Amino acid sequence: MTTPKLNRHIGLFALVVYGVGDILGAGIYALIGKAAGEMGNAIWMAFLASMVAAGLTGLSYASLGSRYPRAGGASFFTHHAFKSNFLAYVVGLAALSSGVTSMAAGSRAFAGYFSSLVSSVPVDLVVVAFCFVVAGVVIRGIRESMWMNMLCTGIELCGLLLVIVVGWKFLGSVDYTSAVTVTNPAGDLTVSLILTGAVLTFYSFVGFEDIINVSEEVKNPESNMPKAILLAVLIASIVYVTISIVAVSVIPAAELAASSAPLVDVVKRAAPWFPPILFAFIAMFAVANTALLNFIMGSRLIYGMANQGLIPKVLAKVNRRRTPYVASIAVLGFMLVLALTGNIGSLARATSVLLLICFMAVNLSLVVLKHRKGEPKGRFEIPYVIPVLGALVCALMLSHAKLEEFKVAGAILAVIVILYFVIRPNSDAIKRGLEE
């Protein structure tokens, strides 16, 4: 039986907006203060290091996406390269888990902002309502989701541009190579310090990989996906590095580190005439956009894995609008559980570790597939050195992750492994899924 196909509604512009919106989400609004606490005025170096890791892996994703424009992303690439049901299952659900943890973090951040404006509403109630609204938009259809993405991306980008514009006059007021912090009073700037900071800031770059998971809904995917991935990473990198330099120019790094809303404080200091409540609304749209796009990613990843036979086929069902509604309901359930039981910090750290593991697998998959005879060439080919460097950089960043960052991620991976041996994906179903 032929699997129902998804509608191809997404062009290059919408795809770039999708990628930029996914990357420029809650991360920069929430993490810049924490990063300043670890890096001081040299915070921009951590973002630059994260950009290198994201850029190298983005090139690998772009190359793989031009070869195999399939929903399922990391799971499909890994299975195709290593022919391992187990590895594909673990990588796929790890990628899914990273998206769900990011959504959960975003929902709690949204609830926090909302409750600061309307304190009478319980935070958990806002979390639940937010999760259901996001799920409703996604189930409605990809066209509606992309329109909502464009709206939210426009608003959040305006917020970041506002920070840059009002803080521009403060540029040059500090030493941008100083790494003085509470834990580093001497201000020693080392490679180890930069990599430790990069593990944290890497969360801000999460999103470019999600482009692959909507590939079956993209017009001319072999050409448009590589372009969209590279453009999205480049645009986000420019914005992040600029924002980080502007932020420490306006407010000392120590104050940023102590702030619960660092960018709001930057705007207050640089432009006291701008209503703080308005910027809070902008931040809410930013975190909502992150949750929306990760929800799309999660539902399409489950859809792709179900078509591969890695998880029950029922999760590949689509409604009359060609939306994977069963997969979307499953994502909603996972999102609610994590959002109601976790906290923003642990969820963000777990997201980074899980994705770095997935990115290592994707880079190594490309190395294997480039070496294997008979594999199709894509419109975007890169030399061997790129995925090799991508895998090494991801491994290097993982080696500088903190123990607490591994605890949540390790627990999630343990559950995934147990599920695999309980469910035992059917090999014949996997073969049929890959042939379709």
Query: Domain spans of the chain?
Result: 12-435
Question: What pLDDT does 71 receive?
Answer: 53
Question: What pLDDT does 167 receive?
Answer: 92
Over residues 59-82, the mean pLDDT reads: 79
Question: What pLDDT does 342 receive?
Answer: 65
Q: Which of 283, 300, 103, 318 is nearest to 213 (CA)?
A: 300
Compute the mean pLDDT over every residue in the chain, rounded to the nearest whole number: 81
Q: How far apart, in whole angstroms, are the C-alpha atoms of residue 147 and residue 67?
A: 28
Q: Are 153 and 21 in contact (CB under 8 A)?
A: yes
Q: How far apart, in whole angstroms, are the C-alpha atoms of residue 355 and residue 98?
A: 6
Q: With helix as H, strand as E and coil as C, how does the chain read?
A: CCCCCCCCCECHHHHHHHHHHHHCCHHHHHHHHHHHHHHHHHHHHHHHHHHHHHHHHHHHHHHHHHHCCCCCHHHHHHHHHHCCHHHHHHHHHHHHHHHHHHHHHHHHHHHHHHHHHCCCCCHHHHHHHHHHHHHHHHHHCHHHHHHHHHHHHHHHHHHHHHHHHHHHHHCCCCCCCCCCCCCCCCCCCCHHHHHHHHHHHHHHHCCHHHHHHHHHHECCHHHHHHHHHHHHHHHHHHHHHHHHHHHHHHCCHHHHHHCCCHHHHHHHHHCCCCCHHHHHHHHHHHHHHHHHHHHHHHHHHHHHHHHHCCCCHHHHCCCCCCCCHHHHHHHHHHHHHHHHHCCHHHHHHHHHHHHHHHHHHHHHHHHHHHHCCCCCCCCCCCCCHHHHHHHHHHHHHHHCCCHHHHHHHHHHHHHHHHHHHHHCCCHHHHHHHHHC
Handedness of CA 214, 216, 219, 220 (dihedral sign): positive
Task: For 353-392, write each residue's pLDDT tens digit.
Answer: 888 888 999 999 999 999 888 888 877 788 999 999 999 9
Which two tokens mark 355?
A: 């994705």
Question: What pLDDT does 349 receive?
Answer: 67
Question: What pLDDT does 429 receive?
Answer: 55
Task: For 83-138, write each residue's pLDDT tens digit.
Answer: 888 888 888 888 778 778 778 877 887 887 787 677 778 888 988 999 899 888 88
pLDDT of residue 54 exceeding 90, the answer is no
Question: What pLDDT does 428 receive?
Answer: 61
| Strand partners of residue 218 | 10
Q: How far apart, in whole angstroms, are the C-alpha atoms of residue 419 and residue 403?
A: 24
Task: For 139-190, write each residue's pLDDT tens digit.
Answer: 887 777 778 878 888 888 888 899 999 999 999 888 888 888 877 787 778 8
Say which range, 124-133, 213-222, 272-281, 293-302, has the weakest mean pLDDT. Answer: 213-222
Class level of CATH domain 12-435 = mainly alpha
Question: What pLDDT does 5 receive?
Answer: 58
Question: What pLDDT does 421 receive?
Answer: 86
Question: What pLDDT does 435 receive?
Answer: 47
Which two tokens mark 163?
A: 């920070």
Q: How far apart, in whole angstroms, are the C-alpha atoms of residue 300 and residue 312?
A: 14
In the numeric block, the tokens 């060439």 are attached to: 377
Task: For 225-235, write each residue's pLDDT tens digit.
Answer: 778 888 888 88
The 10 Å Cβ neighbour count of residue 170 is 18
Helix axis angle for 344-371 and 403-423, nearest 10°, is 60
Q: How far apart, in whole angstroms, are the C-alpha atoms of residue 105 and residue 101?
A: 6
Question: What pLDDT does 156 receive?
Answer: 82
Question: What pLDDT does 293 receive?
Answer: 78
